[in-house]
Structure 1
């Protein structure tokens, strides 16, 4: 038996809360806990097996298992790790002779620097994931006429990030708040409106978000309750549907998507909106749309309509076009992370076609000077509603892209006056941005295994334009964000990277 209680304090806490706010979920929540532990443990074991963690000195296969040797002489053992697998297949990891089925208990036993804080995070995240699974709803019907809106598909994404151990980490959210604001719980969220006199507005801010000389900034109710402390005063605003990112919501009747500030750490990042993002929003949106126009209609970018900031990351908002705008009759647009909910079989031929489309677009933009953060939340696919065939892509949220003025200039693209973190000409940085999000993230999670991903990549590569970026993709290990190492290195800013085995090394000679 594992040396820990069957249920931790963090796992037990929601039971009492559910008895008060949603009694019908108490039993399903308890039943979902073992699966939630396995899901988080699977992601943690992937990190231990593949990330450059300084206290792991060797990784060795042994009799159908994987053994990790630690710097202090101890050993971790678990199943072989496919870094691209998306099934919850790890139910136990052994530290020397002691088995652990709870990721938080394993981290605590390891006694590594900053491990205690991450253990607390994962314990609460396991409980949050069990709550999400307990309240799992039915996906939108694929035969909807008109097709289901994007927000309805996003509500079907229950487990969050496919590879991050903190896939459902929501610190600062009570059980009642998770039920009230988490998209997988299918709520309608009433936004607040903060009236301000002194702010920076870029793009066009609509009349309905103005009151005389004041600008009305949409505010998430969690932010209003926990951060703003009613300063400035917040009045009732429109009802909206939360999207996967939690802090971005879709207004009804095809209205814009509203990105709000949410000053808490979700998965890896604190979800604020920097003044820098607001200042550059309109310029970046126009530039990336002009670059996307060079993909022969294969990529659309949801334009930033307007952005506003008070100069503080705690109070700002961005309005974007809804992705549905780019789906025609007989088509539906679905976030890639929500593809499992569509019921599509995702056959090898379908996966090969989607991979070819995604790499054609991603590599074309990279060559033109724009490296997309094309993970399964930002990247959407337009599908033929009858056949499910992938037709085009839609990209949203430009806050984390990178722009290379040197590459753009080589193609005669007029480069806007940009400074700051968006601008980077370093080839390694640009390739990591795209390959880490699109290949090791989106395509890997869509394929679900090293083998399926390798077959899809091998099928797509012969059809792609030969560029230096493609040659690097073919020949080098795949970069992926070392998500757990980053959480265990709080004194470092910026991304840290792991080098994952490249399936193309086996599939393409």
Structure 2
């Protein structure tokens, strides 16, 4: 997306939201080098210097960085996690600049500068004083081999521009470069739309669906955090032109011989199927069923109709009149219809790239979920007062031998405690954890729904809340991992928090969606006497316990608890991490292999979101060593610079 002559405040913040996430990934995955340049005055602002990959491909720390080597310059609001390895600190014009190992979007001020020679745009939130400070600091450490003036230090460097410069330097295939650029642009456009169309703020009295649809920005570090990219035969998804939150649920009649069913799919789906069939003019639901003998009706998302019609000629999509309005959950492909299907939700296939991949449902997932739910979940070690596991009760998927085709006609029915039969009588308020850390429907604030709704207006209140949250989260998710070798995908989208709806006190958690769990079969068999039923090459199978711990670290620690610690302003002072270490030390036995991985290892495998995009991977993951944030303590920049120079 080129820099325009005029730019709204929300558009610049949307660019920043996506670009900051891209930078975070590029640095963490060591695709580029980044250096912390300390401020040159007590009141000044330090910067992150992002160096182009063709200038930082060797392991040697540079002694000179030219201005033309710089990919981006980011003023900082806090100190990122700096490398403590000897020799990692660059000394540039006698200024010690420690290498950055991990930078979070929350470490950055909302300005990302480029020096690629474009004319400046007119920006609503442009800060000329800050830009001049950044320019002075930049030229103090870089060799000025190209003509540069402060007027050409361009604000609002967006993710598409940055990506294309990086991809060209890194040698990414041009077609893939363009494709990923389109996804980044989609992320910016949909983020801008979300900022322009804020929701009403939820309360403890609000419905679980209201909370699900209050997610403003989404994944905290994925650069495609708001991408909604469709592909033919689906039409383009233009923000505001398609209702992704209240879509229509349609039906497709599929011959029984073309489906693989797990569980009692027809019985469980009957209420929603009957409601849709009854919309037929002049025909009852029974008459409609009789018109399709030896067929099963599969609920599908309205946007998926073109894919179903083009890929499954033996299937019949019922007319538009046969539809009901549904409510999308955070993932968009999972939906609820509480007045028709209380206690259940539907996971639908949706051929749209949302963050990582097409949000279809593979035969691997439709096969695994019901078996895991009925055979394994009852045998797992966990406290049901603290953790509720929403079982996947039934599924349907097309039998096409090509899973890339079959995944476009599939559906999962799962339990949903957040949509009880009688919500008024339920003492709990169930809130998707991802919503807790979201801003209050505006980009220019640090206030979140959590601090707003729970009135956490002092450090003491924030510490007390976090202490209980960490304690119960570890009670919920550590035992199955420690004892059974099973890691739930416990990030904020797949985890719900149960609160007392009168007092707001946290009571426990809910785990949903089994597509990304990891299971070490030998440990499960020894501890619970059961095994998982999986298709060959299923990605839920872990060959080692370390794979299980890796999944739990990425989802629960890195993605979930780190976000909570940061938004509660308990990161930079180290207090949040002290609490986490306290509770983990109490729960993990010293002689358990998890202790060494989590509590003694300074670096852990981090999931490489951009490298996976470059390699076009989804089910197969790429990891690289990243700082183990469990061990985070406040860093003294001067001491690190001296020790690592």
Relative to the length of structure 1, the TM-score reads 0.85
Distance 2:316 2:499 in 1: 43
Inter-CA distance 304–136: structure 2 relative to 1 (3 Å threshold):
same
Q: Does 1:42 align with 2:20?
A: yes
Per-residue Cα deviation, 1:403-444 (whole angstroms, up to 9, x for no partner): 111111332432244453222231221111111011000111
Report what 1:319 is aligned to.
413
Aligned ranges 1:257-406 → 2 under 5 Å: 257-292=345-380, 294-311=382-399, 312-324=406-418, 329-340=426-437, 341=449, 343-345=453-455, 347-367=462-482, 368-406=484-522
Q: CA deviation at 1:360?
A: 2.5
Q: Distance in 1 between matches of 2:240 and 2:302?
A: 12
Q: Which moved more, 1:60-69 or 1:94-103?
A: 94-103
CA contact (8 A) 1:356 1:463 kept: no
Q: CA deviation at 1:392?
A: 1.1
Out of 572, 577, 581, the residue aligned to residue 458 of structure 1 is: 581
**Cα root mean square deviation, aligned:** 2.8
What residue ranges of structure 2 are gaps of 5+ in the alignment? 39-45, 56-68, 82-102, 117-147, 275-288, 400-405, 438-448, 457-461, 635-645
Partners of 1:317 and 1:7 in 2: CA distance: 46
Name which of structure 1's ranges 81-90 and 65-74 shifts more when overlaid on structure 2. Answer: 81-90
Please say if 1:475 is aligned against 2:600: yes
Of 374-383 and 249-258, deviating more is 249-258
- Select which of 613, 628, 634 maps to 1:487: 613
State the match for 2:74 in structure 1: 78
Structure 1 residue 87, shift from structure 2 partner: 7.3
Deviates more, 1:344-353 or 1:83-92: 83-92
The Cα shift of 1:396 comes to 0.6
Partner of 2:302: 221
The residue aligned with 1:242 is 328
Q: Distance in 1 between matches of 2:548 and 2:627?
A: 20
1:20 alignment partner in structure 2? none
Moved more, 119-128 or 90-99: 90-99
The answer as to 2:165 corresponding to 1:106 is no
Provide the residue aligned with 1:24 in structure 2. Answer: none
CA distance in 1, matches of 2:582, 2:199: 35
8 Å contact kept, 1:227–1:263: no
Cα–Cα, structure 1 residues 499 and 293, in superposed 2: closer, same or farther, change >3 Å?
same
> How much has 1:492 moved relative to structure 2?
8.3
- 1:354 to partner: Cα distance: 0.9
1:413 and 2:529 aligned:
yes
Q: Identify the residue that residue 93 of structure 1 maps to in structure 2.
A: 113
Instruction: For residue 332 of structure 2, give the secondary structure of its aligned residue in structure 1.
Output: coil
After TM superposition, give the deviation of residue 399 of structure 1 in Å.
1.3
CA distance in 2, matches of 1:496, 1:305: 31
How many Å apart are 1:191 and its aligned residue?
Answer: 0.6
Note the alpha carbon deviations across 1:108-146, whole angstroms, 9 max, x for none: 23323144432222122101110122112113332x2xx
Shift of 1:166: 0.6
- Aligned partners of 1:291 and 1:365 also within 8 Å: no
Which sits farther off after the overlay, 62-71 or 306-315? 62-71
| Structure 2: distance between partners of 1:439 and 1:299 | 17
Offset at 1:95? 5.1
Aligned-partner SS, 2:394: strand
Residue 345 of structure 1, CA deviation: 4.2
The 8 Å contact of residues 263 and 270 in structure 1, kept in 2 or not, is answered as: yes
For the Cα contact (< 8 Å) 2:490–2:511, is it kept in 1? yes
Q: Name the structure 2 match of 1:67.
A: 49
Query: Where in structure 1 are there 5+ consecutive unaligned residues?
Result: 12-29
Distance in 2 of aligned mates of 1:88 and 1:257: 38
Number of positions where the alignment pairs a residue of Structure 1 with one of Structure 2:
475
Could you say if the C-alpha distance between residues 492 and 360 of structure 1 is closer, same or farther in structure 2, counting changes exceeding 3 Å?
A: closer
Relative to structure 1, the CA distance from residue 348 to residue 95 in structure 2 (aligned partners, 3 Å threshold; closer, same or farther) is farther
Counterpart secondary structure, 2:396 = strand
Quickly say closer, same or farther: Cα 1:316–1:503, change in 2 above 3 A.
closer
